[in-house]
Protein backbone atom coordinates (compact mmCIF):
# COMPACT_ATOMS: atom_id res chain seq x y z
CA UNK A 1 0.00 0.00 0.00
CA UNK A 2 2.82 2.40 0.87
CA UNK A 3 4.55 1.66 -2.44
CA UNK A 4 1.32 2.36 -4.31
CA UNK A 5 0.83 5.69 -2.51
CA UNK A 6 4.47 6.65 -3.07
CA UNK A 7 4.21 5.89 -6.80
CA UNK A 8 1.05 8.00 -7.10
CA UNK A 9 2.68 10.94 -5.30
CA UNK A 10 5.76 10.64 -7.49
CA UNK A 11 3.61 10.59 -10.62
CA UNK A 12 1.69 13.72 -9.58
CA UNK A 13 4.89 15.56 -8.64
CA UNK A 14 6.41 14.73 -12.03
CA UNK A 15 3.29 15.87 -13.86
CA UNK A 16 3.24 19.18 -11.98
CA UNK A 17 6.89 19.81 -12.82
CA UNK A 18 6.28 18.99 -16.48
CA UNK A 19 3.56 21.62 -16.81
CA UNK A 20 5.78 24.31 -15.27
CA UNK A 21 8.34 24.29 -18.10
CA UNK A 22 6.83 26.83 -20.48
CA UNK A 23 7.96 30.43 -20.83
CA UNK A 24 6.18 33.62 -21.72
CA UNK A 25 6.51 34.54 -25.37
CA UNK A 26 7.66 38.06 -26.08
CA UNK A 27 9.49 38.41 -22.76
CA UNK A 28 13.15 39.26 -23.34
CA UNK A 29 15.47 39.96 -20.43
CA UNK A 30 18.16 42.65 -20.57
CA UNK A 31 20.78 39.93 -20.18
CA UNK A 32 19.48 38.14 -23.29
CA UNK A 33 19.24 41.38 -25.22
CA UNK A 34 22.80 42.48 -24.36
CA UNK A 35 24.37 39.07 -25.01
CA UNK A 36 26.95 39.43 -27.81
CA UNK A 37 28.49 35.92 -27.68
CA UNK A 38 27.80 32.61 -25.98
CA UNK A 39 30.30 32.04 -23.15
CA UNK A 40 30.61 28.27 -23.74
CA UNK A 41 31.25 28.69 -27.50
CA UNK A 42 32.46 32.12 -28.56
CA UNK A 43 32.36 31.10 -32.24
CA UNK A 44 28.63 30.25 -32.14
CA UNK A 45 26.43 32.09 -34.61
CA UNK A 46 23.29 31.53 -32.49
CA UNK A 47 22.23 29.91 -29.23
CA UNK A 48 18.96 28.37 -28.04
CA UNK A 49 17.95 30.25 -24.89
CA UNK A 50 14.78 28.32 -24.01
CA UNK A 51 12.68 25.59 -25.55
CA UNK A 52 9.77 23.37 -24.64
CA UNK A 53 7.14 21.31 -26.37
CA UNK A 54 3.82 19.69 -25.68
CA UNK A 55 2.13 16.71 -27.28
CA UNK A 56 -1.49 15.73 -26.92
CA UNK A 57 -3.76 13.15 -28.44
CA UNK A 58 -6.65 14.63 -30.39
CA UNK A 59 -9.92 13.07 -31.48
CA UNK A 60 -9.66 14.68 -34.93
CA UNK A 61 -9.16 12.20 -37.77
CA UNK A 62 -6.65 14.19 -39.80
CA UNK A 63 -4.15 14.77 -36.96
CA UNK A 64 -4.46 12.37 -34.03
CA UNK A 65 -1.26 13.70 -32.41
CA UNK A 66 -0.88 17.45 -31.95
CA UNK A 67 2.65 18.65 -31.12
CA UNK A 68 3.53 22.25 -30.28
CA UNK A 69 7.16 23.33 -30.06
CA UNK A 70 8.29 26.69 -28.70
CA UNK A 71 11.86 27.96 -28.87
CA UNK A 72 13.66 31.22 -28.09
CA UNK A 73 16.85 31.69 -30.13
CA UNK A 74 19.45 34.46 -29.83
CA UNK A 75 21.01 35.12 -33.25
CA UNK A 76 24.44 36.77 -33.09
CA UNK A 77 25.15 37.36 -36.78
CA UNK A 78 23.74 36.97 -40.30
CA UNK A 79 25.22 33.46 -40.70
CA UNK A 80 22.52 32.15 -38.35
CA UNK A 81 19.45 33.75 -39.95
CA UNK A 82 18.24 30.32 -41.12
CA UNK A 83 18.20 29.14 -37.47
CA UNK A 84 15.14 31.32 -36.89
CA UNK A 85 12.99 29.18 -39.22
CA UNK A 86 11.63 26.45 -36.96
CA UNK A 87 9.06 24.21 -38.60
> Is 45 part of a structural domain of the chain?
yes
Residue 24 is predicted with a pLDDT of 72
> Is 28 part of a structural domain of the chain?
yes
Residue 15 — very low, low, confident or very high, per pLDDT cuts 50/70/90?
Answer: low
* Residue percentage of the chain with pLDDT more than 90: 23
> Is 5 part of a structural domain of the chain?
no
Residue 55 CB contacts under 8 Å (≥ 6 apart), including other chains: 65, 66, 67, 68
Please count the other Cβ atoms lying within 10 Å of the Cβ belonging to residue 56: 9
> Which residue has better confidence, 38 or 13?
38
pTM (two decimals) = 0.60
Which domain does 67 fall in, by range?
A: 24-84
> Which residue has better confidence, 6 or 29?
29
**Is residue 35 a contact partner of residue 69, using CB atoms and an 8 Å limit?**
no
Residue 81 CB contacts under 8 Å (≥ 6 apart), including other chains: 75
For residue range 17-36, list pLDDT tens digits in order.
555 555 677 788 899 889 99
Enumerate the β-bridge partners of residue 54.
68
The number of distinct structural domains making up the chain is 1
> Is 17 part of a structural domain of the chain?
no
End-to-end CA distance of the chain: 46
> Is 73 part of a structural domain of the chain?
yes
Please give the average per-residue pLDDT across 8-25, as a whole number: 60
Amino acid sequence: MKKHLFCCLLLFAGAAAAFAQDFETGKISNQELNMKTYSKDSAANAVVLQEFGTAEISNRDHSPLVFQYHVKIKIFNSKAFDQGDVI
